[in-house]
């Protein structure tokens, strides 16, 4: 039904755009331009204790093409990580984000780099959308020096301080109080920025979330709690873990919004709305209805608790990249071939980054002791005779 | 032993301590000896090799000077009393330290239960909310896990929160945040984030507070990589450690003790800090090294009176820094006396004493004439009945017996 709706709206708007698109075809470039375009989201927003934003999203060809490229890059990156894991170049835990790219990309489109994002361990794509390079991603996954955390963090610990990406956390739910702390710091410094604290449907049952939400509402913090509901907490379906799976309503006195997380434009609209709301009225909860194609992590096949039909069904009907592709094609913003070329480009970029990352060396043995403590007042780890500093801080 | 630290804009600290309020032994005051700069330091940590002897008449020593040259205190505009400095209780010293740091740096804020309008359950934050406002002195709901997490999140951006656990035992609820986020984020982010948070609160066995309110968490926290732990025991070092902890870029856990809040002492008027990872020589001696911290320091000093009357000469060191241990001071002492007794308040199993024994044995085994003795609390939940509670902690009589045994 979603597809027919999209087709209907596309045909309506394409008739409006016909004269423009023919002008465009004279000097078509894949980067698009900034001429405004209005698209309807696939499903309306559902709200709790607030007015839902409008379904019509303002966008432009350039943005749509950027969405396509970024999501294609993320998808390729995650699939490449899958192969690297199977080749044993990535060890330990590896949680892949493919299927959920629209959340990262849509959120980024609505905010600035001064706003903070903090998420859990499914953080590769969020890191990239915040400005991280592919080299940093793959090098960190393989534990090399060129990684964003110098190889000492791993898949679950990607951080990028200069673009306010606060990670990357392994313990389920622990990042939400941290996120409220970031919002507190923003309020303290009167920054007029907000924090997006992302968590999953599994983490939504953690007590510390409600504690942090209570404090955020009390102190009027600009915190936006985003539940990326992919319907499975590892192997447990949401209806088996939550008495009330309406996560956006869980705030009770805190307003909430349910968003189709596979629609990047809906995500963008919701995040824009949430940012305005948080700066004026304090915390708000966003529930992104999304889906992950891979299992919870690389050690989970992902098929013991759900059917392959379900996975392929979602892939056919709701895939975020396909949705943007159809939007672009129906609005004549690029040809089929051009989009395929973008995908090829992206694939090459990923391959190049992997090759470069493979050349990066493993960390030096002395790196074991660096960054345990920060330099500061009387903080060196001395050896027993105090003459030799055992942990030399950089 | 004295140390002078010169950091950027920081006042130098002298760690020699004046006598505590439990009575003093022979103390002789002397200026600092010339010192040598340690090579390879990235900032000038200067150590002196001089030993400090304090005033024989038991007067408070006045070595607390802000530069390397030991000038006589020339505070002509000093207070009306003839002695320099001012007298206060330990909780007031903590409050003074906190207030001074909050004035000095706008990024310092306090979070905790009842720290604001109520003034703090042990009055450490009294008057701060009125002075600094609700955004800097925050009353939190009873949600240790999340407000510790929020403190750490705020610290990641550069704020310097001081998180108070109303009782250290309640921080067990925040263990995940303190360990995984507080301790490890600096490392897992490859150095991108520092967590300049201070987590403080009273712990230890009080007066019949019951099992859950008499916990000693230093043994649980000691393995967390990336944090520092200090324990204060006198108003002087309470204020100094509080200030140093706030100025430190690392997460610091400051352990206070419920029964020590009303100790009175005269502390200097000037700005001073105590070096975080340094031990304090309470009473130099020759026969045996007694290592202790927090409340047990006073039990040890009481036992020391008896021991001196019996002819022993114990050297008492308040280790103060529970993580990392000041193996330099401890090592020098061990090399001198060759016998070690550890007196601590935490449990026998897996306590600070256990780690200290391991560290000393590893590094100074050749200097020991006898196995290290460790007196700790019993491995039981603290009972409510007063007589039983007394027996769970180490009493001075046991310390005397232990020294006599050790020195045989």
Kindly report, residue by residue over A199-208, the tens digit of the pLDDT.
999 999 999 9
Q: What is residue A390's predicted lDDT score, i.e. its pLDDT?
A: 59
Residue A28, pLDDT score: 52
Q: How far is A246 from chain B (nearest CA, A)?
A: 23
pLDDT of residue A382: 61
Instruction: Report which of residues A223 and B78 the model is more confident about.
Output: A223
Helical residues (DSSP H) of B158-289, grouped into ranges: 175-176, 185-188, 218-221, 235-247
List the single best residue of B10, B108, B157, B242 to mutate versus A (max A Cβ within 10 A).
B157
CB distance B53 to B30 below 8 Å: yes
Q: Are B224 and B172 in contact (CB under 8 A)?
A: no
Q: Does residue A94 fall inside a structural domain?
A: yes
Residues A172 and A239 in one domain: yes
Looking at the structure, tell me whether residues A316 and A336 fall in a common domain: yes
Q: Which pLDDT band, with edges at 50, 70 and 90, does A368 fall under?
A: confident
Q: Is the CB of residue B81 less than 8 Å from the CB of residue B26? A: no
Q: Give me the residue spans of the domains in chain B.
A: 85-268, 280-407
Q: Is the pLDDT of residue A165 over 80?
A: yes
User: Per residue in B78-96, is it b (16+ CB within 10 Å) or e — as a string?
Assistant: eeeeeebbbebbbbbbbbb
SS (H, E, C) B41-99: CCCCEEEECCCCCCCCCCCCCCCCCCCCCCCCCCCCCCCCCCCCCEEEEHHHHHHHHHH
Lowest average pLDDT, out of A301-310, A359-368, B1-10, B262-271, goes to: B1-10
Q: Which of B190, B164, B215 is nearest to B392 (CA)?
A: B215
Whether residue A386 is contained in a domain is answered as yes
The torsion of the CA quartet A232, A237, A239, A245, rounded to 10 degrees, works out to: 0
| 3-state secondary structure (DSSP) of residue A106 | helix
Q: List CB contacts (< 8 A) between A118 and chain B.
A: 153
Exactly one of B144, B218, B344, B389 is catalytic; name it: B144
The answer on A251 and A382 residing in a single domain is no
Give the C-alpha separation, B303 to B404, whole Å: 11
Nearest 10 degrees: Cα torsion A77, A83, A86, A87: -110
Q: Do domains B85-268 and B280-407 have the same CATH topology?
A: yes
B187 contacts A381? CB cut-off 8 A: no
Residue of chain A minimizing CA distance to B190: A149
Nearest-CA distance A288 → chain B (Å): 23
The answer to whether residue B144 is catalytic is yes
Q: Determine the distance in angstroms separating the CA of A170 from the nearest CA of chain B, rounded to an integer.
A: 9
* DSSP code, position A282: -
Our CA-based measurement puts residue B225 at a distance from the nearest CA of chain A, in whole angstroms, of 7
Examine the domain organization and report whether A384 and A320 are in the same domain: no
Instruction: Quote the CA–CA distance of B274 and A202 in Å, as a whole number.
Output: 46
Residue A6 domain-assigned (yes or no): no
Return residues 48-107 of B near A (CB < 8 Å): none
Average pLDDT value for residue range A285-298: 95
Residue A140 parent element (H or E): helix A134-141
pLDDT of B116 over the 60 cut: yes
For A61-107, write each residue's pLDDT tens digit.
Answer: 999 999 999 999 999 999 999 999 999 999 999 999 999 999 999 99
In a domain, A170, yes or no: yes
Residue A373 is part of which domain span? 364-393
Q: Is residue A26 part of a domain?
A: no
Range from A199-213, A240-254, B44-58, B266-280 carrying the lowest mean pLDDT: B44-58
What is the tens place of the pLDDT at every residue in B360-404? 999 999 999 999 999 999 999 999 888 999 999 999 999 999 999
Per-residue confidence (pLDDT) for residue A388, from 0 to 100? 62
Per CB-CB distance under 8 Å, the chain B contacts of A166 are 153, 156, 193
Q: Between chains, do A180 and B149 touch, taking CB under 8 Å as contact?
A: yes
Both A63 and A205 in a single domain? yes
Q: Does residue A20 form part of some domain?
A: no
Residues A346 and A303 in one domain: yes
- The rounded distance, in Å, linking the Cα atoms of A263 and B191 is 36
Is residue A129 included in any domain, yes or no? yes
Give the pLDDT confidence score for residue A10 in this predicted structure: 44
Pair A384, A272 in one domain: no
| B137-182 pLDDT tens trace | 999 999 999 999 999 999 999 999 999 999 999 999 999 999 999 9
Which of B207, B375, B197, B362 is closest to B293 using CA atoms?
A: B375
As a whole number, mean pLDDT of residues A181-210 equals: 95
Contact B189 A167 (CB under 8 A): yes
Per the annotation, the verdict on B213 as an active-site residue is yes
Same domain, A246 and A382: no
Mean pLDDT of A115-134: 96
Q: Starting from the edge strand earliest in sequence, which strands make up the sheet with B137-139, in order? A: B137-139, B108-112, B160-164, B198-203, B252-257, B228-231, B321-323
Residue of chain A whose alpha carbon sits nearest to that of B10: A377
Render pLDDT for B317-371 as a digit per residue (tens, 0 to 9): 999 999 889 999 999 999 999 999 999 999 999 999 999 999 999 999 999 999 9
Helices (H) and strands (E) in chain B, counts: 12, 17
Q: Contacts of residue B278 in chain A, CB cutoff 8 Å?
A: 378
Q: Which residues of B touch A370 (CB under 8 A)?
A: 191
A193 inside domain: yes
Q: How far apart are CA A140 and CA A356, in angstroms?
A: 12
Q: Minimal Cα–Cα distance from B76 to chain A, Å?
A: 31
- When pLDDT is averaged across residues A4-23 and rounded to a whole number, the result is 45
Query: In sequence order, what are the residues at sequence separation of 6 or more whose Cβ sits closer than 8 angstroms to the Cβ of residue B344?
Result: B292, B293, B296, B351, B352, B353, B374, B375, B376, B377, B394
User: Confidence band (pLDDT; 50, 70, 90) for A361?
Assistant: very high
- Percentage of chain A exceeding pLDDT 90: 79
Q: Are residues A152 and A166 in the same domain?
A: yes
The CA distance from B4 to B86, in Å, is: 23
Distance, CA of A265 to CA of A244 (rounded, Å): 27
What digits encode the pLDDT tens for the residues A37-58?
899 988 999 999 999 999 999 9
B74 pLDDT more than 80: no
CB atoms B156 and A178 under 8 Å: yes
Whole-prediction pTM: 0.80
Beta strand pairing call for B160-164 and B108-112: parallel
B192–A159 CB contact, under 8 Å:
yes
Q: Selecting from 2.40.10.10, 1.10.3720.10, 3.40.50.970, 1.20.120.1750, what CATH number does the domain B85-268 have?
A: 3.40.50.970
> How far is the first Cα of chain A from the last one, in angstroms, to the nearest whole number?
59
Q: Which is more confident, A369 or B349?
A: B349
Write out the CATH class of domain B280-407.
alpha beta
Q: Which residue reads 């403590």 in tokens? A: A373
Tens-place pLDDT, residues A258-276:
999 999 999 999 999 999 9
Residues A369 and A312 in one domain: no
For the record, the structure tokens of A129 come out as 């959308």
Q: Give the chain B residue whose CA is nearest to the CA of A155.
A: B188
Overall number of domains in chain A: 2
Q: How many CB atoms lie within 10 A of CB B408?
A: 6
Q: Are residues A163 and A295 in the same domain?
A: yes
* Residue among A160, A215, A370 whose CB faces B143 most closely: A215
Residue A43 sits in the same domain as residue A176:
yes
pLDDT value of position A54: 93
């Amino acid at each position: 039904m979603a597809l027919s709706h999209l087709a209907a709206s596309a045909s309506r708007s394409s008739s409006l755009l016909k004269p423009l698109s023919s002008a465009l075809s004279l000097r078509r470039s894949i980067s698009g331009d900034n001429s405004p375009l209005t698209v309807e989201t696939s499903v309306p927003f559902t709200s709790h204790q607030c007015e839902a934003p409008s379904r019509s999203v303002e966008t432009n060809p350039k943005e749509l093409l950027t969405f396509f490229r970024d999501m294609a890059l993320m998808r390729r990156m995650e699939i490449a990580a899958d192969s690297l894991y199977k080749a044993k170049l990535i060890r330990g835990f590896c949680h892949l984000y493919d299927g959920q790219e629209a959340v990262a990309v849509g959120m980024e489109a609505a905010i600035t780099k001064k706003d903070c994002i903090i998420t859990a361990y499914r953080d590769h794509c969020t890191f990239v959308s915040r400005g991280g390079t592919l080299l940093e991603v793959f090098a960190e996954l393989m534990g090399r020096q060129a990684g964003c955390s110098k190889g000492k963090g791993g898949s679950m610990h990607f951080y990028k301080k200069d673009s306010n990406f606060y990670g990357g956390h392994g313990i389920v739910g622990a990042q939400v109080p941290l996120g409220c702390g970031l919002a507190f710091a923003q309020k303290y410094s009167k920054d007029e920025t907000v924090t997006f604290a992302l968590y999953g449907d599994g983490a939504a049952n953690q007590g510390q979330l409600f504690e942090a939400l209570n404090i955020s509402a009390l102190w009027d913090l600009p915190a936006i709690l985003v539940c990326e509901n992919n319907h499975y907490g590892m192997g447990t379906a949401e209806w088996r873990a939550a008495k009330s799976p309406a996560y956006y309503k869980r705030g009770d006195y805190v307003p909430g919004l349910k968003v189709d997380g596979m629609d990047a434009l809906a995500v963008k609209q919701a995040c824009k709305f949430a940012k305005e709301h948080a700066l004026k009225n304090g915390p708000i909860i966003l529930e992104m209805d999304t889906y992950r194609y891979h299992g919870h992590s690389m050690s989970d096949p992902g098929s013991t608790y759900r059917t392959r039909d379900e996975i392929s069904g979602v892939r056919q009907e709701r895939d975020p990249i396909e949705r943007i592709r159809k939007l672009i094609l129906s609005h004549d913003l690029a040809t089929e071939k051009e989009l395929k070329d973008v995908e090829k480009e992206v694939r090459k970029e990923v391959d190049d980054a992997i090759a470069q990352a493979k050349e990066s060396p493993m960390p030096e043995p002395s790196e074991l002791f660096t960054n345990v403590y920060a330099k500061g007042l009387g903080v060196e780890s001395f050896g027993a005779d105090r003459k030799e500093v055992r942990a030399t801080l950089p | 032993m004295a140390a002078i630290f010169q950091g950027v804009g920081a006042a130098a600290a002298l760690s020699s301590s004046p006598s505590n309020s439990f009575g003093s032994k022979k103390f002789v005051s002397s200026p600092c000896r010339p010192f040598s700069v340690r090579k390879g330091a990235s900032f000038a940590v200067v150590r002196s090799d001089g030993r400090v002897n304090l005033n024989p008449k038991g007067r408070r020593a006045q070595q607390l000077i802000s530069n390397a040259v030991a000038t006589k205190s020339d505070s002509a505009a000093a207070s009306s009393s003839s002695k320099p400095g001012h007298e206060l209780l330990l909780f007031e010293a903590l409050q003074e330290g906190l207030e001074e740091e909050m004035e000095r740096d706008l990024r310092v804020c306090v979070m905790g239960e009842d720290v604001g309008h109520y003034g703090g359950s042990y009055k450490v934050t009294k008057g701060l909310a009125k002075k600094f406002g609700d955004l800097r002195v925050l009353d939190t709901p009873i949600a240790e896990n999340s407000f510790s997490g929020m403190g750490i999140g705020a610290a990641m951006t550069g704020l310097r929160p001081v998180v108070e656990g109303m009782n250290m035992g309640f921080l067990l609820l925040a263990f995940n945040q303190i360990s995984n986020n507080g301790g490890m984020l600096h490392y897992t982010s490859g150095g991108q984030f520092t967590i300049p948070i201070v987590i403080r609160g009273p712990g230890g066995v009080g007066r019949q507070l019951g099992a859950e309110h008499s916990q000693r968490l230093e043994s649980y926290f000691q393995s967390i990589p990336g944090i520092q732990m200090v324990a204060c025991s006198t108003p002087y070092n309470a204020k100094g450690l509080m200030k140093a902890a706030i100025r430190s870029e690392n997460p610091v856990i400051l352990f206070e003790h419920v029964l020590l809040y009303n100790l009175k002492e005269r502390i200097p008027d000037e700005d001073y800090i105590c070096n975080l990872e340094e031990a304090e020589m309470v009473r130099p001696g020759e026969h045996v090294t007694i290592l202790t911290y927090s409340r047990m320091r006073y039990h040890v000093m009481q036992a020391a009176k008896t021991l001196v009357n019996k002819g022993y000469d114990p050297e008492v060191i308040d280790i103060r820094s529970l993580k990392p241990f000041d193996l330099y001071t401890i090592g020098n002492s061990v090399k001198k006396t060759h016998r070690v007794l550890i007196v601590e308040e935490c449990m026998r199993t897996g306590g600070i004493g256990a780690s200290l024994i391991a560290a000393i044995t590893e590094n100074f085994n050749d200097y020991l004439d006898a196995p290290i003795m460790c007196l700790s609390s019993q491995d039981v939940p603290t009972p409510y009945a007063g007589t039983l509670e007394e027996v769970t902690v180490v009493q001075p009589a046991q310390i005397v017996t232990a020294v006599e045994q050790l020195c045989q």
